[in-house]
Amino acid sequence: MSKEAIEKVQKLIASHKVFVASKTYCPYCSAAKRTLSSIVKNDLFIIELNTIEDGDEMQDALQEITGQRTVPNIFIGGEHIGGNSELQSLGESKLKEKLKKAGAI
């Protein structure tokens, strides 16, 4: 994986209040996207890695950055949340608190 891919991913994470790396066929991604889209009102950025040319390289870069290979790979306000399990385990009030702090709601 290239330094450019890592920089590209870091820039996307930094430039969006909520960043989700996803795959269109992943049920955990669908659950995370449903949860976030029902709450986030401002700047929910979802990238479907299986639909873009450099998706594999971006997934490699995300693994390098976070240590997590799986999707969804979720960031709120630049903070790595983890996957769907970690997102759901936050609970609604803690999730809303993080989203409010990030300016996403």
pLDDT for 1 beyond 80: no
Chain segment 24-53, per-residue pLDDT in tens = 999 999 999 999 999 999 999 999 999 999
Give 30-87 as a DSSP string.
HHHHHHHHHH--S-EEEEEGGGSTTHHHHHHHHHHHHS--SS-EEEETTEEEESHHHH
CATH code of the domain in which 7 resides: 3.40.30.10
Compute the distance between CA of residue 102 and CA of residue 14 in angstroms, rounded to an integer.
Answer: 11
Q: Which residue has the tokens 């998706």?
A: 55
Task: Specify the number of domains making up the chain.
Answer: 1
pLDDT for 2 beyond 90: no
Is the pTM higher than 0.85? The answer reads: yes
Residue range of the domain that includes 55: 3-102
Per the CB < 8 A criterion, the answer to whether 61 and 1 are in contact is yes
